[in-house]
């Protein structure tokens, strides 16, 4: 099986609005105690809430675990960069 035939997988689990586990995480773009923004295999994800803490992050498995008062999870589709024509014309 070559790399092009491998399909990305993402799993998200929320327990009692206090523990959030997200798979397929590629990078944490920013975080503080009210917001965590990350890049996943299917686009960006924003987690909003209060007293948010990143409990664990595994770069090998792409698993991220967040604790705190989870208020919302927003998903953003990846955007394709517009291709420039020869000599930079649009």
Higher pLDDT, 34 or 78: 34
Q: Where are the domains of the chain?
A: 8-76
pLDDT tens sequence across 1-34? 444 444 578 899 999 999 999 999 999 999 999 9
The angle subtended at Cα 67 by Cα 60 and Cα 27, nearest 5°, is 35
CATH code matching the domain that covers 8-76, chosen among 2.40.10.10, 2.40.170.20, 2.60.40.2000, 3.30.70.260: 2.60.40.2000
Q: pTM of the full predicted structure?
A: 0.78
- pLDDT for position 59: 84
Distance CA(46)–CA(74), nearest Å, equals 5
């Amino acid at each position: 099986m070559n790399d092009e035939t491998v399909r990305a997988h993402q799993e998200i689990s929320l327990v009692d609005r206090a523990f959030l586990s997200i798979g397929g995480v590629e990078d944490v773009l920013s975080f503080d105690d009210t917001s965590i923004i990350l890049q996943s295999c299917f686009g960006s994800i924003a987690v909003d809430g209060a007293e948010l803490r990143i409990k664990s992050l595994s770069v090998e498995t792409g698993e991220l675990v967040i604790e705190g008062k989870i208020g919302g999870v927003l998903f953003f589709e990846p955007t394709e960069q517009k291709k420039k024509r020869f000599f930079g014309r649009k």
